Structure 1
Amino acid sequence: MTLITVQEQHLSGSTLEEKFEQALAWGFDGIELRSAGDLQFQARLPELRRAHQVGVVMPTACVDMTHFVGAFDAELRKDAVAQLKSQLSVMAEIGGRGVMTPASYGMFSKRLPPFVPPRTDEEDTAVLVEAFTALGEHASSEGVEIYLEPLNRYEDHMVNRLADGVRLLKLVGLDSVKLAPDTYHMNIEESDPAAALQAAAPFIGHVQASDSNRLEPGAGNIDWALFGATLKSIGYQGTVALESRLSGPASDVLPRVPALLGRYL
Structure 2
Amino acid sequence: MRLAVQENLVPGDSLPEKFEIALRAGFDALELRGGGDLALEARLPELRRALAGGVVMPTICVDMTHFIGDFDAGRRADAVRQLSSQLAVAGELGCVGVTTPASWGQFSLRLPPFTPPRPPEEDREVLAEALAVLGERAAHHGVLIMLEPLNRYENHMVNTLAQAAALCASPAVRITADTYHMNIEEDDPCGALADAAPYLGHVQVSESNRNQPGTGHIDWAAHLAVLDAIGYDGHLALECRLRGEPVAALTRTAAFLRGYL
TM-score range (shorter-chain normalised) is: over 0.9
**Which secondary structure does the structure 1 equivalent of 2:165 belong to?**
helix
**Which secondary structure does the structure 2 equivalent of 1:254 belong to?**
helix
TM-score (norm 2): 0.99
| Structure 2 equivalent of residue 80 of structure 1 | 79
User: In structure 2, how many angstroms separate the alpha carbons of the residues matched to 1:79 and 1:213?
Assistant: 32
| Structure 1 equivalent of residue 89 of structure 2 | 90
**Which secondary structure does the structure 1 equivalent of 2:108 belong to?**
coil
| Structure 1 equivalent of residue 185 of structure 2 | 189
User: In structure 2, how many angstroms separate the alpha carbons of the residues matched to 1:130 and 1:3?
Assistant: 33
User: In structure 1, how many angstroms separate the alpha carbons of the residues matched to 2:113 and 2:140?
Assistant: 41
Between stretches 247-256 and 201-210, larger displacement belongs to 247-256
Q: Alpha-carbon deviation of 1:175?
A: 0.6
**Which secondary structure does the structure 1 equivalent of 2:177 belong to?**
coil
User: In structure 1, how many angstroms separate the alpha carbons of the residues matched to 2:259 and 2:216?
Assistant: 17
| Structure 1 equivalent of residue 133 of structure 2 | 134
Alignment deviations for residues 158-177 of structure 1 (CA, whole Å, 9 cap, x no partner):
000111111121xxx21111
* Unmatched segments (≥5 aa) in structure 2: none
From 222, 225, 229, the counterpart of 1:226: 222
User: In structure 2, how many angstroms separate the alpha carbons of the residues matched to 1:108 and 1:59?
Assistant: 31
| Structure 1 equivalent of residue 255 of structure 2 | 259
Alignment deviations for residues 44-86 of structure 1 (CA, whole Å, 9 cap, x no partner):
0000000001110000011000000000000000000000000
From 201, 208, 211, the counterpart of 1:205: 201
User: In structure 2, how many angstroms separate the alpha carbons of the residues matched to 1:11 and 1:264?
Assistant: 23
User: In structure 1, how many angstroms separate the alpha carbons of the residues matched to 2:184 and 2:157?
Assistant: 15
Matched, 1:26 2:25: yes
Matched, 1:175 2:171: yes
TM-score (norm 1): 0.97
Matched residues, number:
261
Shift >4 Å, 4+ stretches: none
Q: Alpha-carbon deviation of 1:221?
A: 0.7
Q: Alpha-carbon deviation of 1:263?
A: 2.1
User: In structure 2, how many angstroms separate the alpha carbons of the residues matched to 1:99 and 1:249?
Assistant: 29
Q: How does 1:235-246 map to 2 (within 5 A)?
A: 235-246=231-242
**Which secondary structure does the structure 2 equivalent of 1:168 belong to?**
coil
Q: Is the 8 A contact 2:11 2:246 kept in 1?
A: no
Instruction: Among all aligned residue pairs of Structure 1 and Structure 2, give the percentage whose two residues are the same amino acid.
Output: 59
**Which secondary structure does the structure 1 equivalent of 2:181 belong to?**
helix
